[in-house]
Chain A
Amino acid sequence: MKEEGKHKKAKKYGMVINLDECTGCGACMVACMAENNVPFREDESNKLDSIAWMRVYKLTNGKSYPEADICYLPRPCMHCEGDHGHSPCVSVCPATATDYNYETGIVSQIYTRCFGCRYCMAACPYHARYFNWWDPVWPEGSTKYLSPNVSPRMRGVVEKCSFCFHRYQLAMDKAYLEGRTVLEEDEYQTSCTQACPAGAITFGDLNNPEHKVHQLAKPDNKHGGRPGNPNVFRLLERLGTNPKVYYMSSREWVRQAGDNYIDNEDFAKNYRH
């Protein structure tokens, strides 16, 4: 909370993902892979070791045919702030290889500093962190499409979604050259947001009332960023991770699937705080 006072102008970049609009097409996943030089291997069907900074989960309502229903849920890194000012992963990294940027609210990962202890992975309840179990190998000729904006990771380090931080840096560089210090909303957008054919992802500064994310989520910063919009929820809100990715759904079962509840009464009591 100290930081809030110190950094009055601090931005808090975040996302609102409209699950009613999300079609589960996977464009966000591939947009992310293509943007961030994510490696791939011959068999990626073992999802326990398949690197996907953005992963789309398929949720089911648990009911029988024909009452069955499914919903897709894209899961980037949540860039948790933590209710007590530290995100679950940043506080545990022994080598300060992952850091919380108070200017943007983005949780970074320094690949060359990470020595692969994987404590952060144990800390992250969202499974948003991935370990490079293998050396990344691209088929012959395919290194040509690698982007110089994001360095490919070596074997033995942890990687994760950065909210395309390099895009923030590029946008800021451009802004400074033009003599500005503030970015327009559309100047900095993540690759997944930009690609989503359904327009289900909204990205921006949660602290900026003019940004769409703020208007959709109506975050209550006095209470750990809890959403003010009744259709908006966050994953595992009850753990106090204070994530910056908000989800929106008109279906109650989807909202309920966002967190653990002992029973319906618990849901009713805890969903709206």
Chain B
Amino acid sequence: MEIGRRSFLSFIIGGAAGTAISPLPWKLIDDSSIWSQNWPWTPVPPDGEYSQSNSVCTLCPGGCGITVRKVDDRAVKIEGMKGHPVNDGGICVMGLSGLQLLYGPTRVKTPLKRAGKRGEGKWEKISWDEAISDVTKKLAEIRSKGESHAVGSIVNSDSGTVPNLFKRFLTAYGSPNFMTMPSMQDSYNMTMLLMQGVSAQVGFDAENADFILSFGSGIIDGWGSPVRMFKANSAWKVNGKKVVQIESRLSNTAAKSDKWIPIKPGTEAALALGIANVIIMESLYNRENIESQSGFDAFKELVLNEYSTDNVSSITGINSATIVSLAKNFAQASKPLAICGKGQGSTPGSLNEFMAVHALNALVGNINKEGGVWAVSESDYIKWPELEMDSIAESGMQKERIDGAGSEYPHAKSLLNRLAEVINSGDGSLGALFVSDANPLYSMPDSKALNTAFDSIPFVVSFSSYMDETASNSDLILPNHVYLERYEDVPTPGGLQKNVIGLTKPVVTPQFNTKNVGDSIILIAKALGGSIADAFPWDSYDACLKETLGDKWDVLEENGFWSDSDSKVATGEFNFYPDAMKSLSSFSSVSIEGSTISYPLVLIPYDSIRLANGYIGDPPFVIKTVEDTVLKGKTACVEINPKTGKELGLTEGRYAFIHTPRGKAKVKVHLYEGIMPGIVALPRGLGHTAYDKYLAGKGCNFNELIGPAEDPISGLDAAWGIRARLTKI
């Protein structure tokens, strides 16, 4: 058949018309739409049986109770636990994001042994047996050389069973070098010791105070137990209580306070004593009760001679009238409370400042009173049998600590801030180091120097659950379960005026080939044998924990927390003027590094609840909440006053370099009217090099820009800033 043009056209048109009225195109259109509604690459979360499980969050020392919502064996949401004495249903950004850590890409999934150079990121997966035996061999070798004291450990705190297992292990092994991450608790503890003669935790009856004078404490920026402080802050608002915030930057706390008083940073102690001066001058204190206390006369002499209002005004930059009215309001309040510890309190700060503030509290008579400051005896539930040391252990324990705590600085328990300098200057060395629940290579000030010090430690073992900076720079990783996969006791959070012990529970089964760090320690001890093994009579960490908690266990297992019915007060005689305070007889602020000529500005850190700056970095959800005036792309923003910006020719959004005597970083300029001219503020918590792509490589780490400043009395880090320069790019 010949196909002519006409028949061809008819065929085409007819065919097209025929297809159009057939169901085919309509079916295709419909099907393609249905397909677009069910794209296989868009996940559909499976449904299942719903359940809830109570536990405790350990992402910060706040100790909040959490309720984890589950679908079958998957945890799908973390919420604040209703009725918990710390947070009563409230929760913070980090706590809410815990599941991103549990299931996230930063987990160390199995024991790892370094395969390339340190920090290169090349790892070999090994079995747990191999990992434990590697550690054991190395430790046995060091011990056999009689250098047991050259083994150290860094953990987050010194309370709770896991830190105490480390401490016990080191003791049995023969090393005094049990180190903890520093915080304001160290300074508070030392203040308690020096001024009240007690070994106690500080507790604040914040909820009942009616006038809160905060020397730069980030009450709603993550200070203390954060959610508890948020709640207290709201209660103050509702009940018309007053908050005065003293700091050089308008932080969230300052903005929410009733009065923000900007101060020259580093002069807070002078202000505290200046306030004391007014109170004494105007007899605004209970003379009968106070004047009889020891050291009061000397204290009175000190503040009257050196801290006159005019003098303090010129030191702090706050005008005299403000100081006087502040002092009067504070003293005349029925339950005044002064607190200190800058920002989140992640650095210990100047001991003078802590003592001056504490003296102020004592002056208005609020020690161990409702709405005041409490000396809380820690709940000593850890009562393990006395361990027997062999001769190596005994001789090792006789040695001085590498960081000088207890010797050079007699009151200090741990001075991790000194470790880098001691090692780098050749004054000491470590043969092996354990790091658990801490990320010192990121979060210690002058982290670069600590990195150098780590380079000279031949064997670094990390117990981290995540590939953090310290884990990446270790030789061996024995990954711990994440808090949602393990049992662990959570000691009383800092700042609470009564003991509340929490218990984390395995909400889900361990997702990877990890092991509770407590078990790792017990296994290592047992493998080392002898008196070390004998010191650890438990079959497992869980058994140890259960035994340790004794009759509290059932309550903890049931409720997730155990609390003292009332405060356990440590009583001692108050001393207004301990020897340590003598250096205040002529005020000088803790000097910071750098000359005013080459570094005309002062760089200070600031803390934000949306930026975690401790062991754990921001999970994706949290980093998402960070404002674009804090982090933009890969660059962190510095805050400067528009006046400073004008002087330097820096406009909003300009890129610049910040230089300090310790380092240099690229930053973006954010002009902020809420900061004192001449000051540059940089957020803590950015500049991670480890963790996942959501966090790593974003912004710069404040700790790389700051140097340490040793407090002359405590030996703790007292640096509140560093001199700096901004240059245009």
- Establish whether A and B are touching in the complex (CB under 8 Å): yes
> Measuring CB to CB, which residues of chain A are less than 8 angstroms from any residue of chain B?
18, 20-21, 23-27, 29-31, 33-35, 37, 40, 42-47, 50, 52, 56, 58, 60, 63-66, 68-72, 112, 135-136, 138-148, 151-155, 194-200
Verify if B230 is at the interface (C-beta below 8 Å from A): yes
> Considering the chains assembled together, what is the distance between the CA atoms of A50 and B256 in angstroms?
27
Residue of A nearest to B99 (CB): A145
Q: Name the residue of chain A whose CB is nearest to the CB of B693.
A: A42
Also in contact, A148 and B92, with CB within 8 A (given A26-B610, A30-B97, A42-B694):
no
CA distance A112 to B38 in the complex (A): 9
On chain A, the residues within 8 Å of B45 by CB distance are 37, 143, 146-148, 151-152
A269 to B31, CA, bound (A): 57
Complex formed: what's the CA distance from A23 to B233 in Å? 9
Say which residue of B100, B238, B256 sits within 8 Å of A23 (CB atoms).
Answer: B256
User: Across the interface, which residues of B come within 8 angstroms of A52, CB to CB?
Assistant: 624-625
Q: Cα distance A172–B72 when bound, in Å? A: 22
**Majority secondary structure of chain A interface residues (helix, strand, loop or mixed):** loop
Q: How far is the CA of A16 from the CA of B580 in the complex (A)?
A: 51
B290 at interface by CB-CB < 8 Å: no
Can you give 20 A-B contacts (C-beta < 8 A)? A21-B234, A23-B230, A31-B96, A33-B621, A34-B77, A44-B624, A65-B677, A70-B250, A138-B43, A139-B104, A144-B99, A145-B100, A147-B69, A147-B77, A152-B45, A155-B42, A195-B90, A197-B92, A198-B220, A199-B90
Q: Is B262 engaged at the interface, CB distance under 8 Å to the other chain?
A: yes
Q: Which of B87, B262, B632, B675 lies in contact with A45, CB distance below 8 A?
A: B632
Count the B residues whose beta carbon is within 8 Å of the partner chain — how many? 78
Q: How far apart are the CA atoms of A256 and B634 in the complex, in Å?
A: 35
Measured between beta carbons, the chain B residues less than 8 angstroms from A70 are 250, 252, 255, 674
For A58, list chain B residues within 8 Å (CB).
Answer: 627, 629
Could you tell me if B625 and A45 are in contact, using CB atoms closer than 8 angstroms?
Answer: no
Taking CB atoms and an 8 Å cut-off, the chain B residues in 602-637 that contact chain A are 609-610, 620-629, 631-634
Of all chain A residues, the one with the shortest Cβ separation from B251 is A70
**Is A148 in contact with B91, judged by CB distance below 8 angstroms?**
no
- The reply on B568 being an interface residue by CB < 8 A is no
Question: With A23-B230, A145-B103, A146-B45 in contact, is A139–B625 under 8 Å at CB?
Answer: no
B673 close to chain A: CB less than 8 A: yes
Contacts of A25 in B (CB 8 A): 92-93, 220, 226, 230, 252, 609-610
**Per-position contact with A for B71-112: 1 when CB-CB < 8 Å, else 0?**
100111111100000010111110011011011110000000
Taking A34-B77, A65-B677 as contacts, is the C-beta distance between A142 and B105 under 8 angstroms?
A: yes
A-side contacts of B37, CB under 8 Å: 112, 154
Q: Is the C-beta of B227 less than 8 angstroms from some C-beta in chain A?
A: yes
- Confirm or deny: B157 has a beta carbon within 8 angstroms of a beta carbon on chain A: no
Greatest chain B CB density within 10 A among A23, A135, A196, A199 is at: A23
Alpha-carbon distance between A63 and B693 when the two chains are bound, in angstroms: 38
| Pairwise interchain contact A146-B231, C-beta atoms closer than 8 A | no
Given the complex of chains A and B, what is the CA–CA distance between A199 and B618 in angstroms? 23
Rounded to whole angstroms, the CA-CA distance of A177 and B16 in the bound complex is 56
> B47 touching A198 by the CB < 8 A rule?
no
Closest 10 CB pairs of A and B: A197-B90, A68-B673, A197-B230, A146-B45, A26-B625, A23-B220, A145-B99, A44-B624, A148-B47, A112-B37
User: Which A residues lie within 8 Å of B621 (CB)?
Assistant: 30, 33-34, 40
> A21 to chain B: which residues have CB within 8 Å?
233-234, 237-238
Which residue on A lies nearest to B694, using beta carbons? Answer: A42
For the complex formed, measure the closest distance between the CB of A177 and the CB atoms of chain B, giving whole angstroms. Answer: 14
Measured in the bound complex, the distance between the Cα atoms of B43 and A155 in whole Å is 12
Could you tell me the distance in whole angstroms from the C-beta of A36 to the nearest C-beta in chain B? 10
B641 lies within 8 A of chain A by Cβ: yes
Contacts of A64 on B, CB cut-off 8 Å? Answer: 642, 673
234-284 of chain B: CB within 8 A of chain A: 234, 237-238, 250, 252, 255-256, 260, 262
Identify 17 new A-B residue pairs, CB closer than 8 A, beyond the known A26-B93, A70-B255, A139-B104: A27-B93, A30-B96, A34-B621, A35-B77, A40-B694, A43-B634, A44-B624, A52-B624, A64-B642, A68-B672, A68-B673, A141-B103, A144-B74, A147-B45, A148-B46, A155-B39, A198-B90
Also in contact, A198 and B78, with CB within 8 A (given A52-B624, A141-B104): no
Cα distance, A58 to B255, chains bound together (Å): 11
Q: Report yes or no: A142 in contact with B100, Cβ–Cβ below 8 A.
A: yes
Contacts of A66 in B (CB 8 A): 250, 260, 262, 676
For A65, list chain B residues within 8 Å (CB): 262, 641, 643, 673-677
